C-alpha cells in the first residue's frame, strides 16, 4: 500500500496530504533554551509531533539539545532523554556559544534555536546566531522590545541569514504579529492598535470580585503559568508595554519602552524588592486593588487593563473601569483582544481575540513559527 492509501486506511475520515511527504523530506535540528513552564511544554509538543510530522509532511525534527541557565544537555535526540533531561548523563555547564555551534553542526541552514527564557543575555546572541545562518524562534519579548539598535541589528542579520520569528511574544498563541505582517505586506497601513494584551491581567480582572483577595489570585495566576517569571512584569504594565513596542516596530515605527506611558499597579515600595521578597509581600497590593474594585462597583462597571498605540507615537497602558456594555467587558478568563485600525479596516477594525497566556498556547505559537520556517527549508535530495 502506498503512504496515502495507508494513511486513509488508518484515518478514514482524514484527507491525505496535498503533496506526498516523501517528495518534501526536510531535516531541522532544534536546540531549546529555557526549559521552564513554556519550554518544557514545547519540548513535549515537539516530541509528540515528531513522528506525525515526518510521516505527513516529510519534516524530520531532530531535538539535539536543551540549555537551562546553569546546565545544558546535548545529544537529546532520544525522546526519553528529552522527557527527563534532568536525569540525562550528557550535561555540562551552559555555554551558549558551544550550544549554538553544536546545534548548528554541519548544516547551519537546517538548524534552529528556540529561546524560551526571559533572559536579556540570551536575546543579545540573536544577531550573531542569525548571521551565522541559524534560525531563531522565541516567545521572549526582550529582543523585539529592547534597545532599538539591537533590534535593528537582529532584523538586518535575519535579512541575510537565518529566519527570525516571534509570534508568541504578543498574546501567546494568537495570530497577532502575522496578522499585522500580512496587512502591511499586502499594502495596508496601520493607523492604531487598541486592546487588552495581558492574559494575566485579563484573568485577574475577570476573577477579582472581592470574594478572594487580589494577592491570592496573583499567586494562582503564577501557578497556572499565566504570569511572567516575575509577576511584577505583568502587574506593572511593562509586559504589555513591550507588546506595544513589538507591534509598533513591526509597523516600522521606531517606538521604545520609554515612549510608552504606563500606569503601574505595583506599589512603589514593592518595585525594587527581589522577586522572592515581592512575592512574600504580595498582600500589600490588596488594599489598593480593593479600592479599584470598589470604584468599579460604584460605577457599575468592570475592571479592564487596556493599551493603545497610534501612528503619532502615542502609547498608553493602564487599568480602567469600563462600562458593563463596553465590548472589552465581555471577555472570559485570559482573553486578549487586539483591535487593528488600518486604512482598509478604518471604519470597522479587524479583531483578534482569544486566550492570551499559558504554557500550552504559548508553546503552540512558537511551534507554529517553527513549522513556518520549516516550510521554507530546502528539500533533501
Ligand atoms: N507564560 C506565558 O503565558 C507566556 C506567554 C507568552 C510569552 N511568554 C514568554 O515565554 C518565556 C518563558 O516563560 P515561562 O513562563 O516559561 O518562564 P519560566 O521562568 O518558567 O522559564 C524560563 C526558563 O528559562 C531559563 N533560563 C533563564 N536564563 C537562562 C539562560 N541564560 N540560559 C538558558 N536558560 C535560561 C530558566 O532556568 C527557566 O527554565 C518568557 O520570555 C515569557 O515572557 C510566556
Ligand atoms: N504574562 C503574559 C504572558 C503572555 O505574554 C501575560 O499574562 O499576558
Locate the ligand 1 atom nearest the alpha carbon of residue 226 and give its number. 3
The three cell numbers of residue 17 are 496530504
What spacing in Å lies between the alpha carbon of 82 and ligand 1's midpoint?
A: 18
Report which protein residue has its CA nearest ligand 2's atom 3.
357
Locate the ligand 2 atom nearest the alpha carbon of residue 198 and give its number. 8
Residue numbers in the chain where pLDDT is lower than 70: 1-13, 15-20, 22, 76-90, 380-381
What pLDDT, on a 0 to 100 scale, did the predictor assign at position 1? Answer: 42
Q: Establish whether residue 176 lines the binding site of ligand 1, counting it when its CB lies within 6 angstroms of any ligand atom.
A: no
Ligand 2 binding pocket mutation candidate from 227, 337, 358 (most atoms within 8 A of CB)? 227
Ligand nearest to the CA of 240: 2
What pLDDT, on a 0 to 100 scale, did the predictor assign at position 200? Answer: 98
Distance, in Å, from the CA atom of 145 to the CA atom of 239, rounded to the nearest integer, reads 10
Locate the ligand 1 atom nearest the alpha carbon of residue 119 and give its number. 28
What pLDDT, on a 0 to 100 scale, did the predictor assign at position 2? Answer: 44
CATH of domain 177-356: 3.30.360.10
Ligand 2 binding pocket mutation candidate from 226, 338, 362, 365 (most atoms within 8 A of CB)? 226
pLDDT digits (tens, 9 = 90+) for 302-349: 999 999 999 999 999 999 999 999 999 999 999 999 999 999 999 999
Q: Establish whether residue 374 lines the binding site of ligand 1, counting it when its CB lies within 6 angstroms of any ligand atom.
A: no
What pLDDT, on a 0 to 100 scale, did the predictor assign at position 18? Answer: 59
pTM, rounded to two decimals: 0.93
Burial of 49 (0-12, 13-18, 19+ CB in 10 A): middle
What pLDDT, on a 0 to 100 scale, did the predictor assign at position 22? Answer: 66
Distance, in Å, from the CA atom of 132 to the CA atom of 104, rounded to the nearest integer, reads 9
Distance, in Å, from the CA atom of 126 to the CA atom of 110, rounded to the nearest integer, reads 16
What pLDDT, on a 0 to 100 scale, did the predictor assign at position 109? Answer: 81
Binding site for NADPH: residue ranges?
A: 141
Ligand nearest to the CA of 231: 2
Report which protein residue has its CA nearest ligand 1's atom 30.
69
Pick the CATH number of 3-172+361-375 from 3.40.50.720, 3.40.50.300, 2.60.40.420, 3.30.56.10: 3.40.50.720
Nearest to 116 by CA among 177, 168, 47, 175: 168
What pLDDT, on a 0 to 100 scale, did the predictor assign at position 270? Answer: 98
What pLDDT, on a 0 to 100 scale, did the predictor assign at position 86? Answer: 53
pLDDT digits (tens, 9 = 90+) for 183-224: 999 999 999 999 999 999 999 999 999 999 999 999 999 999
What spacing in Å lies between the alpha carbon of 359 and ligand 2's midpoint?
A: 10
Q: Which residues are catalytic?
A: 243
Q: Establish whether residue 334 lines the binding site of ligand 1, counting it when its CB lies within 6 angstroms of any ligand atom.
A: no
- Residues present in the chain in total: 381
Per-domain boundaries in the chain? 3-172+361-375, 177-356
Amino acid at each position: 500500500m502506498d503512504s496515502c492509501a495507508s494513511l486513509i486506511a488508518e484515518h478514514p475520515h482524514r484527507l491525505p496530504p496535498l503533496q506526498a511527504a516523501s517528495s518534501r523530506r526536510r531535516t531541522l535540528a532544534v536546540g531549546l533554551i529555557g526549559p521552564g513552564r513554556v519550554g518544557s511544554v514545547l519540548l513535549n509538543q515537539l516530541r509528540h509531533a515528531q513522528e506525525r510530522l515526518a510521516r505527513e509532511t516529510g519534516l524530520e525534527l531532530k531535538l539535539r539539545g536543551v540549555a537551562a541557565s546553569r546546565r545544558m544537555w546535548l545529544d537529546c535526540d532520544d525522546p526519553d532523554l528529552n522527557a527527563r533531561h534532568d536525569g540525562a548523563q550528557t550535561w555540562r555547564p551552559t555555554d551558549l556559544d558551544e550550544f549554538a555551534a553544536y546545534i548548528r553542526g554541519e548544516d547551519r541552514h537546517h538548524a534552529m534555536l528556540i529561546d524560551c527564557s526571559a533572559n536579556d543575555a540570551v536575546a543579545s546572541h540573536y544577531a550573531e546566531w542569525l548571521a551565522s545562518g541559524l534560525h531563531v524562534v522565541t516567545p521572549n519579548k526582550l529582543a523585539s522590545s529592547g534597545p532599538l539598535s539591537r533590534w535593528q541589528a537582529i532584523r538586518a542579520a535575519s535579512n541575510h541569514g537565518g529566519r527570525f520569528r516571534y509570534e508568541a511574544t504578543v498574546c501567546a498563541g494568537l495570530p497577532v504579529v502575522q496578522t499585522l505582517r500580512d496587512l502591511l505586506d499586502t499594502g495596508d497601513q496601520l493607523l492604531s492598535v487598541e486592546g487588552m494584551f495581558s492574559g494575566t491581567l485579563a484573568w485577574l480582572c475577570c476573577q477579582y470580585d472581592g470574594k478572594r483577595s487580589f494577592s491570592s489570585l496573583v499567586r494562582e495566576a503564577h501557578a497556572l503559568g499565566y504570569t511572567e517569571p516575575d509577576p511584577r512584569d505583568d502587574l506593572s504594565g511593562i509586559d504589555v508595554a513591550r507588546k506595544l513596542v513589538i507591534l509598533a516596530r513591526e509597523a516600522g515605527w521606531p517606538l521604545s519602552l520609554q515612549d510608552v506611558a504606563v500606569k503601574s499597579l505595583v506599589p512603589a515600595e514593592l518595585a525594587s524588592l527581589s522577586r522572592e521578597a515581592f512575592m512574600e509581600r504580595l498582600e500589600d497590593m490588596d488594599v489598593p486593588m480593593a479600592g479599584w474594585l470598589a470604584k468599579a462597583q460604584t460605577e457599575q462597571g468592570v475592571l479592564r487593563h487596556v493599551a493603545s498605540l497610534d501612528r503619532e507615537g502615542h502609547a498608553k497602558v493602564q487599568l480602567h473601569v469600563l462600562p458593563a456594555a463596553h465590548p472589552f467587558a465581555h471577555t472570559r478568563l485570559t482573553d486578549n483582544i487586539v483591535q487593528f485600525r488600518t486604512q482598509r479596516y478604518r471604519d470597522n477594525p479587524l479583531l483578534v481575540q482569544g486566550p492570551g497566556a499559558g504554557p500550552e498556547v504559548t508553546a503552540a505559537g512558537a511551534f507554529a513559527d517553527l513549522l513556518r520556517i520549516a516550510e521554507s527549508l530546502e528539500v533533501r535530495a
